[in-house]
Amino acid sequence: IQVALCLDTSNSMDGLIDQAKSQLWKMVNELASTKKAGKTPDIELALYEYGNSGLAVTEGYIRQVSALTTDLDMISEKLFELKTNGGDEYCGWTIQDVTNNLAWSDNNQDLKLIIIAGNEPFNQGKVDYKIACKAAITKGIIVNTIHCGDYEGGVRHFWKDGADLTDGKYMNIDTDAKVVHIETPYDDDILKLNNQFNDTYIGFGSVGRNRKAMQMQQDANAATYGTANNVERAVSKSKKAYRNEKWDLVDAMEKDEEILDEIKKEDLPEEMKGMTKAEQKAYIEKKAKERETLQTEINELNKKRQDFITKKQQENAETLTLDNVMLKAIREQAEVKGFINK
């Protein structure tokens, strides 16, 4: 599953960015909970910003913040660094850039989505959005559009037409609405397990220590939007989609059993430097088993948590926030491709 999230970062879009920050992990959980033919999919996210006058006019005020990656912590870090600034929003140019400059899969069985959100007319700029959208669907990329404003205004300003050209979904949100985070009786237990989960990561190499610190920082960033959002991130980390083989020895050894033969002693964490090769392997395997147990416990608690949230949501009217409109569209499009939420 490949998803490119394109956010308008012009002056009026603070509410949109705020909702994206608070809902990233809920979207990841929606995708990570699916299976196709009994298998869990790889999930790659990309992040773009557009419409920011701090960006180069020659590039259409568009910036690739991150290419498609499975590194979810990095996406979170980049998202929390986004700042708004006045500018011109060129949706057609953005879609063209995203279509041409990301490493999209050639497999028609994969789900490939562009999600673009903004508030200005969709037809601005020198690149015809109709041509850009048709080029995207030719590659099997569905474009979902989110108008930050009223529904009919988005229709008049071609946001619906852009989605229709690729069999995508047109949606509108209220960027001033506050996302409702439903807290549950299971949250504290999940967060305690998450702290233990973090202790199973064994950073190695020059980036290991920095990446462990980043992991903790993204926990803290998620927590700024409340306990419920922090729990969403904890649940995401317990999924197979959350992989860190580039800096964590547990994930690295799962991918390559001979990884210890390739690592220099100075690149090992302090606690492993005095161990024999057999002791090092046993230590990593012990952490792997601990992690697997914690993943199971977190997911079992999350099932109870989701049941609680579903009941609460039924009691409240649905608001037009990013999570409500985006998750529904993603769920429907994933099912068409055979990705079923279990």
- Report pLDDT digits (tens) over 39-61: 989 999 999 999 999 999 999 99
List the end-to-end C-alpha distance of the chain, in Å, as a whole number: 16
Secondary structure (3-state) at 179: coil
Q: Which positions ≥6 away from 10 have C-beta within 8 Å?
A: 51, 52, 53, 84, 85, 86, 87, 88, 89, 118, 119, 120
- The torsion defined by the Cα of 149, 153, 159 and 161, in degrees rounded to 10, comes to 150
Who has greater pLDDT, 158 or 27? 158
Tokens of 315: 């009691």
3 membership: H or E segment, kind and range: strand 2-8
- Report pLDDT digits (tens) over 264-285: 999 999 999 999 999 999 999 9
Task: Work out the pLDDT band at 124, boundaries 50, 70, 90.
Answer: very high
Specify the pLDDT at position 182. Answer: 84
Q: How far is CA 337 from CA 38, 107, 330, in A?
A: 14, 12, 11
The number of C-alpha atoms within 13 Å of 184 and in the hemisphere containing its C-beta is: 23
- Rounded to 5°, angle at Cα 295 from 326 and 37: 60
The residue among 173, 174, 207, 223 whose CA lies nearest residue 25 is 223
pTM confidence score:
0.88
Q: How far is CA 90 from CA 53, 125, 150, 295, 316, in A?
A: 12, 5, 20, 42, 36
- The DSSP 8-state label assigned to residue 267 in this structure reads G
Please say if the pLDDT value at position 317 is more than 60: no
Averaged pLDDT of the chain: 93
- Report pLDDT digits (tens) over 285-299: 999 999 999 999 999
